[in-house]
A and B are shown apart, each in its own frame.
Chain A
Amino acid sequence: MKQTQTLNHPLDDLLRTDRIPHIWCPGCGIGTAFSACLIAMKESGINLAKTAMVSGIGCSGRGAGYVKLDSYHTTHGRAIPFATGLKLANPELNVVVFSGDGDLFAIGGNHFIHAARRNMDLTVVCVNNFNYGMTGGQAAATTPHLARTTTTPMGNPEMPFNLPLLAWASGATYVARWTILHARDLAESIEEALQRRGFSFIEVLSPCPVNYGRRNKMKPMDTLRIFKEKTLIKNNAQPTELGIDFERGIVLGKFVDEDKPSCGELYDKTCRPSLTQGTAA
């Protein structure tokens, strides 16, 4: 009889394996985005014992529950302010926010723009699946115009956010967008962001076949085909050109990468120069 061999997954040491199977649906892209994030953390060489993940609520918000690091699954939309408190309390920590578009940009939109404005030292990974998956597929602040969701049964009358533009305009010092098909670029981007000081934002386009895809005539493979055929990598593209249009095409790449002092550094310099002089690296 053939012996079955159990192979350990290379990310096992970063996973709460006792919590697997995860809740994500077959065909969902969140798992791919999540593993890209874990790969980036591993590859970056940052001290993982000093790394925390914070999530809000939603399908992507479950990320914090699966990572074997200090991890906090907080309230809806509040991952960023929670992470802000955590980071300011212990500036040694690398703090990664992993959450979805509904969480970060509708209910949490105000927190996002202010954290970006402050250049808070956080790495924010947003899985954008164009709708609220967890609650059954309602319209989000990212749902394309005319797309169908359970709360836009005649098509979405509203216009969506252009997330990289919003991040850039708010003051983020690192902004990139990838899809889950571009897992390598995505992991590299997150890795780079982890090494940057200040507010980094990475948008990951991801299929939600169960809710968004089903109502918009997109089978799992259709969404991936769009991600493959309708995307164009254009680093340093103008943020104003980054609106998502499934017909005309979607621009991916790294759009912003500036080195500016973070919120914590500016606080030290402005408010407690005498206390931090000796300790600054």
Chain B
Amino acid sequence: MEPAVLTGEHYMTGDEACAEGALAAGCRFFGGYPITPATEIAETMAARLPKVGGTFIQMEDEIAAMAAVVGASCGGVKSMTATSGPGFSLMMENLGLGICLETPCVVVNVQRAGPSTGLPTMAAQGDMMQARWGSHGHYEIIALSPSSAQEAFYQTILAFNLAEKYRTPVLIMTDEVVGHMSERVVIPEAKAIKIVERTRPRGRKDRYNPFEPGEFGVPPMASAGEGYNVHMTGLTHDERGYPDMSVECQEQMVNRLVGKIRNNLDDIIRTESHRLEDAEVVVVSYGVSTRTAYAAVEEARELGIKAGMLKLVTVWPFPERQIRELAGRVKGFVTVEINLGQIHLEVSRCAAGLAPALLVGHCGGTLISPEAVIEAVRRIV
């Protein structure tokens, strides 16, 4: 066996770092389908998984990849897939199944510019609202967004930990630049990495209910083959997993699915701030665009403008409270993202009536320049 954790200093792409993060987190199943710019994640997993006792399978399409990932997780194995826009669209159906069946798993979207086939080899952040609402019905989702290869490594571990803890699919919304850029990545020793495992049921097997909430509102999860006779369905179901076509059951099930995220926001939401203490303008960003935001804040400070940065590590659930609090004391917000206004809509909503919110974005294909951000910052101060 090869080590699952490649302790040491490396020079690797964000895609490779993401795959290594998954292996370090204990991922042992990858079901995928090739797509630029996410293919290198599948390639790394194809080479590495069998050597650490895991399984890689290239499925016939992304629909099948996502279904296999949910199936593997029900079999008790930490599982992942990685894709980009067109494949992400195909995964939405079984992402919903994963949410409804409360199956821990990780889905990586290395974003490229769309709509449709778009610019396959060029970066964008245009799938952020799809990440939030892409599957049908009302649900909550957790989505992370790394801005470097090193973050891709750590955030993939975090994604698995959150998926296991909350028994839900977790999305990693990276992009072509982060995916393809090679950078220094430091991988710590295995014992220094905190790994979370799903809560397993205890007590009598015949009394186990697969959807009876435990700690944090999350039901302990039994795997197939353990003798629990688990039943799961994508239909609205009760705590036993049995379909129940009543309005009451629908209300109970959806409220709990939503509640297990909404009631644990303090544990889930992660942001990082830079020079926010005395900031008059907050530059909000995530993923690769935080690199632009960071440069802009530094330059603005040199020009004597009190700018600060709020970096969303978890983009979903959205840090509403934090934006509201900031909105009460700053002159305004500038959201930097490679689209024509998605997370900007959230910032605007939360700042409404308290502070103006501007967008610096474009249609995709390149990164945003710090100059464009500074111009927007100037309009606020």
List chain B residues, Cβ under 8 A from A19.
242
- Given the interface pairs A78-B63, A93-B225, the reply to whether A88 lies near B72 with Cβ below 8 Å is yes
Q: Is B243 an interface residue (CB 8 A)?
A: yes
Q: Judging by beta carbons under 8 Å apart, are A75 and B93 in contact?
A: yes
Interface residues of A in 81-122 (CB under 8 A from B): 81-90, 92-93, 110-111, 114
Task: Output the least CB separation between B67 and chain A (Å).
Answer: 4
List chain A residues, Cβ under 8 A from B55.
88-89, 267
Task: Output the least CB separation between A159 and chain B (Å).
Answer: 24
Q: Judging by beta carbons under 8 Å apart, are A81 and B231 in contact?
A: no
Q: Is A215 an interface residue (CB 8 A)?
A: no
List chain A residues, Cβ under 8 A from B224.
52, 70, 72, 86, 90, 93
Q: Judging by beta carbons under 8 Å apart, are A89 and B79 in contact?
A: yes
Q: Is A1 an interface residue (CB 8 A)?
A: no
- Given the interface pairs A52-B225, A82-B71, A83-B71, the reply to whether A89 lies near B77 with Cβ below 8 Å is yes
Interface flags for A33-77 (1: CB within 8 Å of B; 0: not) read: 000000000000000011010100000000011001111111100
Q: Judging by beta carbons under 8 Å apart, are B71 and A49 in contact?
A: no
List chain B residues, Cβ under 8 A from A114.
59-60, 64
Interface residues of A in 226-281 (CB under 8 A from B): 267, 271-272, 275
Contact of B75 among A16, A73, A86, A267 (CB under 8 A): A86
List chain B residues, Cβ under 8 A from A90.
75-77, 223-225
Q: Judging by beta carbons under 8 Å apart, are A81 and B223 in contact?
A: no
Interface residues of B in 50-83 (CB under 8 A from A): 50-51, 53, 55-57, 59-61, 63-65, 67-77, 79
Task: Output the least CB separation between B43 and chain A (Å).
Answer: 14
Q: Is B303 an interface residue (CB 8 A)?
A: no
Q: Judging by beta carbons under 8 Å apart, are A85 and B70 in contact?
A: yes
- Bound-complex Cα distance A72 to B210 (A): 12
- Given the interface pairs A90-B224, A111-B60, the reply to whether A275 lies near B233 with Cβ below 8 Å is no
Q: Judging by beta carbons under 8 Å apart, are A93 and B74 in contact?
A: no
List chain A residues, Cβ under 8 A from B126.
none
- Bound-complex Cα distance A80 to B65 (A): 11
- Given the interface pairs A65-B242, A70-B224, A111-B64, the reply to whether A81 lies near B71 with Cβ below 8 Å is yes
- Bound-complex Cα distance A114 to B235 (A): 27
A-B contacts, CB under 8 A, total: 151
Q: Is B137 an interface residue (CB 8 A)?
A: no
Q: Is B247 an interface residue (CB 8 A)?
A: no
List chain A residues, Cβ under 8 A from B63.
78, 81, 111
Q: Is B229 an interface residue (CB 8 A)?
A: yes
A95 (CB) vs chain B CBs: closest residue = B224
Q: Judging by beta carbons under 8 Å apart, are B231 and A64 in contact?
A: yes
- Bound-complex Cα distance A80 to B229 (A): 20
Task: Output the least CB separation between B30 and chain A (Å).
Answer: 10
Most buried by B among A18, A69, A81, A267: A81
B56 (CB) vs chain A CBs: closest residue = A271
Q: Judging by beta carbons under 8 Å apart, are A88 and B76 in contact?
A: no
Q: Judging by beta carbons under 8 Å apart, are B231 and A271 in contact?
A: no
List chain B residues, Cβ under 8 A from A84.
31, 57, 59, 64, 67-68, 71
- Bound-complex Cα distance A65 to B28 (A): 29
Q: Judging by beta carbons under 8 Å apart, are A75 and B67 in contact?
A: yes
List chain A residues, Cβ under 8 A from B305.
none
Q: Judging by beta carbons under 8 Å apart, are A110 and B75 in contact?
A: no
- Given the interface pairs A19-B242, A50-B225, A90-B75, the reply to whether A85 lies near B69 with Cβ below 8 Å is yes
Q: Judging by beta carbons under 8 Å apart, are A68 and B71 in contact?
A: no
List chain B residues, Cβ under 8 A from A80.
64
Task: Output the least CB separation between A74 and chain B (Å).
Answer: 6
Q: Judging by beta carbons under 8 Å apart, are A69 and B68 in contact?
A: no
Contact of B53 among A69, A71, A275 (CB under 8 A): A275
List chain A residues, Cβ under 8 A from B196.
none
List chain A residues, Cβ under 8 A from B139.
none
Q: Judging by beta carbons under 8 Å apart, are B230 and A89 in contact?
A: no
Q: Judging by beta carbons under 8 Å apart, are A85 and B231 in contact?
A: no
Q: Is B1 an interface residue (CB 8 A)?
A: yes
Q: Is B203 an interface residue (CB 8 A)?
A: no
- Bound-complex Cα distance A82 to B50 (A): 20
Task: Output the least CB separation between A148 and chain B (Å).
Answer: 30
Contact of B67 among A82, A271, A272 (CB under 8 A): A82
Q: Is B115 an interface residue (CB 8 A)?
A: no
Contact of A86 among B65, B74, B228, B235 (CB under 8 A): B74
Q: Judging by beta carbons under 8 Å apart, are B225 and A85 in contact?
A: no
Q: Judging by beta carbons under 8 Å apart, are B68 and A49 in contact?
A: no
- Bound-complex Cα distance A85 to B55 (A): 10
B101 (CB) vs chain A CBs: closest residue = A72
- Bound-complex Cα distance A50 to B264 (A): 35
Q: Is B285 an interface residue (CB 8 A)?
A: no
Q: Judging by beta carbons under 8 Å apart, are B68 and A81 in contact?
A: yes
Q: Judging by beta carbons under 8 Å apart, are B233 and A68 in contact?
A: no
- Given the interface pairs A52-B224, A70-B225, the reply to whether A75 lies near B71 with Cβ below 8 Å is no
List chain A residues, Cβ under 8 A from B28.
89
Task: Output the least CB separation between B328 and chain A (Å).
Answer: 45
Q: Is B153 an interface residue (CB 8 A)?
A: no
Q: Please list the residues of chain A having a beta carbon within 8 angstroms of any beta carbon in chain B.
A: 16, 18-19, 49-50, 52, 54, 64-65, 68-75, 78, 80-90, 92-93, 110-111, 114, 267, 271-272, 275
User: Can you sample 19 A-B contacts with CB below 8 Å?
Assistant: A16-B231, A52-B225, A65-B243, A71-B229, A72-B71, A74-B97, A75-B96, A81-B71, A82-B67, A84-B64, A86-B75, A88-B72, A88-B75, A89-B29, A90-B76, A110-B64, A111-B64, A114-B64, A272-B51
Q: Which 5 A/B pairs are nearest by Cβ-Cβ distance?
A: A89-B75, A85-B71, A85-B68, A81-B64, A85-B72
With A72-B233, A74-B71, A81-B60 already in contact, 7 other A-B pairs whose C-beta atoms are closer than 8 Å: A70-B231, A74-B70, A88-B55, A90-B223, A111-B64, A114-B59, A271-B50
